[in-house]
Structures are given as C-alpha cells and as structure tokens.
Amino acid sequence: MSILATARAVIEAEPVCDSCLGRVFADRSFGLSNAERGRGLRIAVALDDDEPDKPVDSAECWVCEGECGRFDEWAEQAVDALGEPAPEFETYQVGTKTPPLIEENDELLRLDAGLSEDAGELFKSNMNREVGKRIGRQTGTDVEFGRPDVQITLDIENDRVEAKLNSAFVYGRYRKLERDIPQTEWPCRECHGSGYKGKLACDYCDGTGYLYPESIEQLTAPVVMDVMDGTEATFHGAGREDVDARMLGTGRPFVIEIEEPHRRRIDTERLQGDINAFAEGKVEVEGLRLADYEMVERVKELDASKTYRAFVEFEDEVSNEQLQTAIEALDGARIEQYTPERVDHRRAGLTRIRDVLSADAKLEDARHAVVEIHGEGGLYIKELISGDNDRTEPSLAGLLSVGAVVTDLDVLAVEGVDEPFEREEYFIQ
C-alpha cells in the first residue's frame, strides 16, 4: 500500500491529530516534526480526493487523547518541577510513563494502517522529543541520553512531572597527615552508632556513637556537600589504609558523590582550599576536579600497587648485615599470606599470593629500622614484617629469626597500572 493510501486509511478510521498521523510514517521521511509530517499528508490526501482539508484538533484525537497538543504545557510543568530557585544543570533527559489506554491505542493505530507494531515512532518517543526540545529552549541546556544532570519523567496518567537531580562527583587525592583517623565514619560497635546503651550514654564511645571522632569523610565530604548544595554525600576511596597509618606522598585517589546538587558550576581550586582549611592540617586534598559517574567505579576498582614506610622494632639486636640479607631475600619475593589474625573476623579465611616489587631498609640502631616496601595491592605489610604467627611466608621476622613488629606505618604512594585519573575524557570540563 502506498504512503498516501495508508494515510487515507488512518484518517478515515477515526479522528487522529497531525502528530499521531505523522508518527506512523516517521521512519519514511526525515527533517520534519511528526505534526508537520502529518499535516502535509492530510493536505495531500484531501487534494488527491478533491475534497476540502479537514484539520483535526488534538483534543479530538482518539490515539493520544489530546496529549500531543500539550507539549508546551508539559514543558512548563517540567521546568516548574525543578523548583525555585532552579538548580544548575547542563544536560537533561525526558522519559514518559504512557497510560495503558494510550499504549493500546498506539498499537491499534498501526493495525488500522496495516503496519507492523514497530512502524514509525511510539507515542512516548514523540513526547520525549517534543517536550524535551521545549525544555532545552527554556533552560538553555542540552539533552543527554547517557547519564544527564537531570532526569525528567512525564507521568501522563497522573498529570504530573517528576524531576530528579542526578549526583555530581568530585575527584581528587587525599593525604592523611595524622594517625588514628579512619577513611569513613566508624560507628561504635557497642551502641551501633546511637551513643546510648539503654537509657545511659555508651561508655565505650563516650556517647559519641563513633569509635573515632573524625574521619577523612567527615573532614572533606560536608564541605563539598555545602558548596554544591546537595542533600547527601558519599565518600568513595581507592582502597583504604589502616586507621593508624598515615597516607603521605602521592595521596590516595577518591571521589565524593553529592546527591541532588543544586550547584554544579563550582570553583574546584577554591573548594580544595576550603576543605584543607576545614581539615586543619589533619587531611589535605589536591587535584580536585569535577568528574562523572564512571569515575566512581574506576576509583573503587583500581588495582594499585603501594609503597610503604614501616618503622620496625625488633625483639633482639640485629646487625646491619643481617637486616640487608633479609631485605634482599624479600626484594622481588612472592609472598603467601593467610588471612591475618587482626582481620579474620571480617575477612574470609584464605591464602593470598602477592609480590614484593621492591624492598629496602635502613638500620637506625640494633633494635630499630626503617623499611620501605613497594608491593602489589592487597599485600599486608604489618604481617610481612611480623610473620603473623607463620601466617605470612616469607616474612622479615622469619628471615631474621627475630621477632619484629611495625610500630608506625606510612603509605607513600598509591599507583595503578595504566591509571586513568589524569586523562581528560574522564572529567567534566
């Protein structure tokens, strides 16, 4: 059947608006809106039949039940749903919840024309595009089909619009300059974060609800949330160091995710200064940049090698020759580590194989040394020194046949193979 004959069949069935008429043929012509396409077909059918043109008001359309005449109204409603003052955003996407009756009418429209179910364009696709174009013009923003700043949903059946602000992300690296600061909030295990045991203040955490009064998350995320005017902040780190270890040198990659941000166009250099001032020398951040959702997964999945500086105390005196011989044995060694005693309450009991990439040591005196280890991600350094009751083989203590413990530990570098964090395409410009 020709396009003209098919159009005539649709027009003669029941009153159908230009937009719904044009949708049937959306995959057969380009460069026009469905309403323009439908209007042209209606005129062509009237001329071919030598009859007067009979326009149909969208309110009379049996397919969309008048919704194709409300594009401007829906766009206005969508802009209003963003709230006042309107949030900052650059990209948006529109989705439509189509009522079952209109979905059924959409199928019948194609059946009446003798077309397949997927011919032309669906009602919801037409709504998304037409309302979306109007939202873009009103707000000066662009449509984005991946992960936009704003997701707008047209709920046709309930005549309402839902506007969701998607999260914003800030990437950087942190240095932890003081010990005994966890990466994220650490609720008290006795009161489970409430601060109370029964009606009395919890004596285990002094009623604070936390085992540690501050965390890297608490010293950074609230500042970002305040600047971006969000509702909640989540800290994502590329692994974590022990609570009693400092994170120095290159710092550790992290992303702070801000939910429902009303401000996205922020000065990251100023934000960096604000965070560092707020942290009062306990934590420093650097290299702050706006990032996208993909960066969260990249940070969390980073397979990084790490360089450590361990301050070691020996049970008995050790000579420099003994120490250097033991360190040479560890340099490049393959280590077998059964789950350490200190974490076996929260980690599965299994043997992990990790490589020492390099090792060096300096004897401070007969009972003390400074050891630097560059190891694969997941290598337990404290146990590499102590042996952890023979759970780690080989170990420095085992090679020396002298008890050894780490009194202080610093992480000097966290570096991934083919680390993506300085590549421009992963950041919002």
Active site residue ranges: 242
d(CA 55, CA 121): 21
The widest CA-to-CA distance across the chain, in whole angstroms, is 111
- Pairing between strand 334-338 and 392-393? antiparallel
The count of other CB atoms within 10 Å of the CB of residue 350 is: 8
| Amino acid making up residue 13 | A
The count of other CB atoms within 10 Å of the CB of residue 182 is: 20
Q: Are 166 and 151 in contact (CB under 8 A)?
A: yes
d(CA 254, CA 414): 11
213: helix, strand or coil: coil
Secondary structure of 154-210 in the HEC alphabet? EECCCCEEEEEECCEEEEEEEEECCCCCCCCCCECCCCCCCCEECCEECCCCCCCCE
